[in-house]
Structure 1
Amino acid sequence: MLSELPSEIIYHIATFLPTANALTHLAQTCHRLYEIITAEDSRIFRAFVQSSFPCTPTPPFWKDAARALTARSRALDRQAIIGRFVLPPPTAAQIGSHQATRLDRPTLGYRAAIDSYETWNGACWADRKEVLAWGAASQLVVRVKQSGAQARENWFVLDDTDHTSSYDDILGVHALKPDHGRKGADTEHFVFGRMLGDIVHLAISPEDASHEYKQRFRTYGLILDRTDLSDGTEPTLAAHYGNGSIAFYHTATEDQKVEPFVWLRAEALSARNRYSKLLSSSLVAVGTGDTGNSLSISTFVPDGVSVYRDISVDSLDLEQRVGNTAKANVSAIAPLNQHALGGSPGDVFLAAWGDRSVRYEKPKILFYIPIPFSKLTIFSRLHDLRSPHPYESTYRDTTDINPIYSVHTFGHDRFLAGAGGDAVLKIFDLRMSNTYSYLDAQAPPAKSTNTQNLPANGVYTNGAATLTTPFQHPRKDISIFLSHQPPSTFPPQNQNHNQHHSRPRKRGAYRGPIYTMSSPSPSSSTVYTGIVDGVVRLDFASTDDLTGPAKEWYEYNLDLGVNTGSVPLPDVSGEVFNLAGYERPHPDDLTTTSKLRNQRSFWSVEPGDRLVEGWDARWEHLEEPGAWRRRDE
């Protein structure tokens, strides 16, 4: 009998169960199994989380963490996505004068720059604080939301400019996390930069809506292109300027005026250099636009910057992937520092490559994971890491011809790519398998010591071949359209701002870029996406979870605030809208046509629609393929 086995054996068996529900059902079998599973503050659930979701940090609420992470994994399998706009309410506290006069007549909207974080501050999973901030033209919009027993929400809109133009637009926003050395316990701290070259460290007190400028970063009058902030308790700030120079600053210093501790000067870089990314607090990757060192990775040394590794276009074999072109530019990078593939911070990352110089050639966007700079184990489900290649995996959408503007790692096995046009957001599986099931994906792999004959479904890891569990369900790759226009009242600005626009905003479908993405934490089910003139919130949660028998748990612990009622609520700020997308064929399949899919509202979903075809119930059913016939009305 299972219940008669020693507790350590039951504990070992339980770690192989694929879902949190399986653990719960096992605990319900008898009193003894219940006592074993719930012993030591749900020790088995802790082992389940750490084995099934490696490198995903969570608070020690192990049972709820197992449920939340499994729910997110299930939602990603079913492409269960909920789209809404994030709108500051009219009652948001105004910080600053808000009396600026517009000096120009902009014809284009602003580029939303976003950052967010969440931290747990209570006795259960629901007790957490989430901070969201983004730049809305010259304004800084901040939301501080407390969930759980002490639920509350505070909004702030900062604008203290005297005369406003497009040069006052905020191009980079970074929310400092609680472990930052300069942050106080009762204040929220932000570093943000404006196009005119003004980079500041701001502290906001949510209690009395007061603010104080803590630091200013010296920019020497240069026009700002973007900013970046590394992870860690003493993160590095990078400022990429319009002339191609990049300055790096310490953020944990006590100085009120912060000087760069090192520069990458424009004369040392290509004139085509338009992108850079901090891979860690000591590593930076720069897209140079040159052939020999198209992507240059440098490290900080006591006397300046030292090149760590150069990756050339020729080594990537781009002629077969993006057309006959001599050069390719890097447009987005995302480090995989909190992922099972990663080793030391900065060693493994995703990069988007593309070249639009060939007008009629469809550019295949290449994401790659380079060979580590030192001896390091990298785990990939599709490639043998014994090969000395400069990249390990290629991810591309053969349907869309837009370049990539942003890359964002999400969950423990996915990443998202925001296109530079047509409002396309692509969802990729890092494992690059033809089939996938979250049930099988969580199973710990078996190991073999045979390193000479690596099986087709294995990888080389630490001198041993690691076998993977075969997946069972069809792969569902999808790209979605964030084509809904932001509401016309977004963001709330004073009359002086609005009256100087040269023409009213057109209210058609949104066809612009996806500029930025941010998730509050590695365990979050939410992605905030920055578009032109707005922020779209995407929550990955299954319809059957939010409307099923356990919906109270999801409502309280995830606190998504989704209206899943039987009828729509009119004129509700942040109401859910329906998304559309296309199901991508395999990158090597050049004959299959992409399938267009559309969502429907929660209140139109019937109980029998759940789990049909392995898709979330909100996705409309596709008609059976057949010969095309005209259908006259």
Structure 2
Amino acid sequence: MLSNLPIELLSNIVAYLPNAQTIHHLSRTCHALNAYVQKEGWKVFCRSNFPSIYLDADTDWQGAAQALTAASRNWDRRAFLARYLEPSGSVTDVTTWKPIPKWRRPRGQTMGYRPVLDSYEESTGPSWSARREVLAWSAGASLVVRVKQMGPEIADFFDRSSPMERDFYYDDRGHMISWFTYAPPGSQQGRDDITALRVLKPHQKDPQDGPADKFIIGTASGNLSVLNIDLSGHTRKVTTTKFETNGRQIRSADTSSSTSPLLSAVLDDADITLYRIPSGNDTSTVSAITDIPKLGSGFTGRVWTTSFLSNTRLAVSLGPSLAPLRIYEVGCDGIAQDPLRKFGLKDGIYDDKVEEATPTPRNTSSSTVYPIIPLPPSSQASRAVGELFFSGGFDGIVRLHDMRSPQNYVSTYADPAEDAAIFSLISLGRERIVAGNSRNCLIKVFDLRMAGGRIYHYLNATASQSETIASPAPKHPPTVDWNLFMNPRNLTSSHNTTWLNRWTRRTLESPVYSLSTPSFASPSLFAGVENNVVQLDFVSMLDRHPDPVFNPQLQHGRRIPRYGPLDAGRIWNPRGQVLEFAIERWGFIRGNSRGGMSGG
């Protein structure tokens, strides 16, 4: 009998089961196996099929299995709901802690603001859907923050609320929404625009901060500071800690992932500065640990971004240059003055003596790199954190670099029809990367896995549910990359007349300036385009078992019918805010590839 086997053997068996439905059927065979599945079975399934998603030991594993399988299925099917985000309902100006009747976009400039995004989420209860999500973005000289609270307890409050309260405090999924805005005293649009933004994650918060969140903002006027804001409103206080910049413009900033994080910032066009982020509410000015001015006397380009590959390595993107990607060691004394490694963008091995013999402006091999992101630590393709990372270039190609290889890059990801520059990058676990284009309001989704490297696929579950199968579902379906044009086709409808303004028309051809996701387990992706932020929720309107976060059963009796017609608009789009986008599928292009990634 299975129920008599030791837990270790049962776990080995469960690790090979193809889908969550099989685990569910196993739990219904007897009380002993039901107890095993609830305690260990779902955990084994999640960790075996989705190894790139790190979850705590006390996670609701059954809810996690439902959420992760739904998200994987919807990414493969390209099933999502998209909408523009704008503060409405409960909006508070944290400068005065007074409510704002109506939030207004920044005005007085010839173009819309360029949002910089960051976000995170944290668990707030035993249920998978009980979580708190914080999203922050820059709107000109102002900081906009959205706090979303979800879970069964919030659903109970929603059910007891009046229709007016539901429209004011909740979104159309029944999640409690609170908006906050902050503009530094005396700031002016255009002069003090926020150009860099980072939000410290929950594990990086100091116990002295209490419930306060820390936001690091850098402005075009040279102000770099940490804001301590208690978004719960208990203290109604904003504490500011400034970093010493000598009035130099802030181009970009990044923080390390350690519990005592470091801050790297690009000042003016070529100065790289490193700071220690103070703990608690220390308001004294923070001096730089180290400063690399102009990247040496021979550098004539511009530094675009810095990115921590690990706590001890910092990647710098620049250009135009023959070596637009450089890696620096970070130690107790700051950043090493000389790079540990330089990468070019052409095939072969970069050689300082050969490549830099010709002046950069005249050499056709010079190029520019914009975003850099490391491969997640869960990847088994590297021996240590920070050895593998991606870069997005001016030529529209995403490259995978390996610190262990002498080659400039080991793999490339490109769109055969669109070669515009890559302005933003984000990894979704070790399975996918999403690239933001410099034109056409376009994002590109690349699947990093080879055809045989997929651990979980929804077609396996579909095949097991069929009574008769004429042709079995493919075990490893071919990889297909795809594009998403965030150009709404339904802005002329009566529900969306609010968005018809001159800024939205400019948005249609906007670059995708930034991308963010709260966590690898989150079904949401945020994209910053000109004067707007787009939220993409990967959930299917036809899914009878969606992510518990979106489960309509939590919302005053709105249920997906088991049989009969489905009123998708009433369930998924009651406020008429969902946008209609166009998608393009195409075969992948891989160059100089040494293998694929495996994952969930």
Shorter-chain TM range is 0.7 to 0.9
**5+ long unaligned stretches in structure 1:** 355-362, 373-386, 444-469, 492-502, 590-633
Give 1:129 deviation, angstroms. Answer: 1.1
Alignment of 1:179-258 (within 5 A): 179-182=203-206, 184-208=209-233, 210-253=236-279, 254=282, 256-258=284-286
Aligned residue type for 1:121: T
Question: Could you tell me how far 1:160 is from its partner in structure 2?
Answer: 3.9
1:18 maps to what in 2? Answer: 18
Distance 1:488-1:370 versus aligned 2 partners, 3 A rule: farther
1:309 is matched with 341
Shift of 1:243: 2.6
Find out whether 1:348 has 2:361 as its counterpart.
no
Is 1:260 aligned to residue 288 of structure 2?
Answer: yes
Contact 2:130 2:150 in 1 (8 A): yes
* Distance in 2 separating the partners of 1:562 and 1:263: 58
SS at 2:69 equivalent: helix
- The 1:199/1:7 distance shift into structure 2, 3 A limit, reads closer
> Which amino acid in the other structure matches residue 514 of structure 1?
V
Change in CA separation of 1:425 and 1:506 when aligned onto 2, cut-off 3 Å: closer
Shifted more, 284-293 versus 325-334: the winner is 284-293
What is the distance in 1 between the residues matched to 2:106 and 2:19?
58
3-state SS of 2:136 partner: strand
Distance 1:553 1:156, change over 3 A: closer
Partner of residue 155 from structure 1, selected from 179, 194, 197: 179
Q: Partners in 2 of 1:102 and 1:43 — Cα distance?
A: 50
Deviation at 1:132, TM superposition (A): 1.1
Q: What is the match of residue 531 of structure 1?
A: 529
Q: 172-181 or 563-572: which moved more? A: 563-572
Structure 2 gap segments, 5+ residues each: 155-175, 356-362, 462-473, 561-565, 592-600
Equivalences for residues 255-294 of structure 1 within 5 A: 256-266=284-294, 268=296, 269-289=299-319, 293-294=323-324
Relative to structure 1, the CA distance from residue 16 to residue 65 in structure 2 (aligned partners, 3 Å threshold; closer, same or farther) is: same
Q: Does 1:67 align with 2:66?
A: yes
Distance 1:24 1:434, change over 3 A: closer
Deviation (angstroms), 1:204? 1.8
- Conserved? CA contact 1:226–1:239, under 8 Å: yes
Q: 1:134 to 1:421 in 2, by over 3 A?
A: same
Q: Render the CA deviation track for 1:353-385: whole Å, top value 9, x for unaligned.
A: 23xxxxxxxx4514113143xxxxxxxxxxxxx
SS class of match (2:330): strand
Aligned 8 A contact 2:376 2:430 in 1: no
Aligned-pair CA distance for 1:158: 1.2
Q: 8 Å contact 1:77–1:437 — kept in the other structure?
A: no
1:108 and 2:147 correspond? no
Q: Partner of 2:302: helix, strand, or coil?
A: coil
Q: Is 1:333 aligned to 2:372, yes or no? A: yes
- 1:343 Cα shift? 4.1
How many Å separate the matches in 1 of 2:91 and 2:68?
32
By how many angstroms is 1:189 displaced?
2.0
When residues 536 and 573 of structure 1 are mapped into structure 2, their CA distance, relative to the original with a 3 A threshold, is farther
- How big is each residue's C-alpha offset from its partner over 1:426-449, in whole Å with a ceiling of 9 and x where there is no partner? 000112449968339999xxxxxx
Give the counterpart letter for 1:577 in structure 2. Answer: L
Structure 1 window deviating more from structure 2 (336-345 vs 525-534): it is: 336-345
Residue 576 of structure 1: aligned partner:
578
- Following superposition of structure 1 onto structure 2, how do residues 504-543 of structure 1 map, counting pairs within 5 Å? 504-505=502-503, 507=505, 510-543=508-541
Comparing 529-538 with 157-166, which one deviates more in the overlay? Answer: 157-166
| Equivalent runs, 1:113-192 vs 2, <5 Å | 113-151=116-154, 152-162=176-186, 164-182=188-206, 184-192=209-217
Range that drifts further, 471-480 or 575-584: 471-480
Secondary structure of 1:422 counterpart: coil
Structure-2-length-normalised TM-score: 0.77
Q: Deviation at 1:417?
A: 0.3
CA offset digits 1:115-136 (Å, max 9, x no partner): 1111112122122111111111
- 1:168 partner amino acid: D
Q: Measured at CA, do residues 583 and 102 of structure 1 come closer, stay the same or move farther in structure 2, by a change above 3 Å? A: closer
Q: Please, what TM-score do these two structures have when normalized by structure 1? A: 0.73
Looking at structure 1, the residues matched to 547 and 41 of structure 2 have their Cα atoms a distance apart, in angstroms, of: 24
Distance of 1:260 and 1:132 partners within structure 2: 28
- Equivalents in 2 of 1:160, 1:270: separation in Å? 34
Maintained 8 Å contact 1:371/1:392: no
CA distance in 2, matches of 1:337, 1:567: 37
> 156-165 or 66-75: which moved more?
156-165
Determine whether 1:472 maps to 2:476: yes
Check 1:160–1:389 CA distance in 2 against 1; reply closer, same or farther (3 A cut): closer
Which amino acid counterpart does residue 347 of structure 1 have in structure 2? E
Q: How far did residue 518 of structure 1 move?
A: 1.1
Give matches, 1:380-419, under 5 Å.
389-419=407-437
Letter of the aligned partner of 1:582 in structure 2?
A: E
Does 504-513 or 403-412 show the bigger shift?
504-513
8 A Cα contact 1:240 1:276, kept in partner: yes
For 1:32 and 1:104, locate their aligned partners in 2 and report how far apart those are by CA, in whole Å: 65
Conserved in 1, the CA contact under 8 Å of 2:447 and 2:479?
Answer: no
What is the CA distance between 1:271 and its match in structure 2? 2.5
* 1:298 CA displacement: 0.3
Q: Deviations over 1:64-90 (max 9, x none)?
A: 112211211111111112211122114
The whole-number CA distance in structure 2 between the counterparts of 1:290 and 1:273 is: 9
| Residue 48 of structure 1, CA deviation | 1.9
Change (3 A) 1:81 1:54: same
Measured after TM superposition, the shift of residue 349 of structure 1 is 0.8
Distance 1:326 1:391, change over 3 A: closer
Contact preservation (8 Å) 2:322, 2:366 = no
**Separation (CA, whole Å) in 2 of partners of 1:549 and 1:50:** 20
SS at match of 2:526: strand
* Separation in 1, partners of 2:146, 2:27: 40
* Count of aligned positions: 520
In 1: Cα distance, 2:41 partner to 2:287 partner: 50
Q: What root-mean-square deviation, in Å, do the aligned CA atoms of Structure 1 and Structure 2 show?
A: 3.7
Contact 1:435 1:473 in 2 (8 A): no
Q: Deviations over 1:36-86 (max 9, x none)?
A: 323xxx212212222222242123222211221121111111111221112
Moved more, 562-571 or 291-300: 562-571
Quick one: which of 430, 438, 448 aligns to 2:456?
438
- Matching of residues 39-54 of structure 1 within 5 Å: 42-54=39-51
- Equivalent residue for 2:329, pick from 299, 302, 305: 299
Distance 1:103 1:126, change over 3 A: closer
CA distance in 2, matches of 1:570, 1:395: 34
Task: State the percentage of identical aligned residues.
Answer: 29
Q: Which residue of 2 aligns with 1:92?
A: 91
Q: Deviations over 1:505-537 (max 9, x none)?
A: 463761111111111112111111111111111
User: Is 141-150 or 504-513 further displaced after alignment?
Assistant: 504-513
Question: Does residue 1:365 correspond to 2:405, yes or no?
Answer: no
Q: 1:164 to 1:576 in 2, by over 3 A?
A: same
State the one-letter code of the partner of 1:579: F
Moved more, 88-97 or 102-111: 102-111
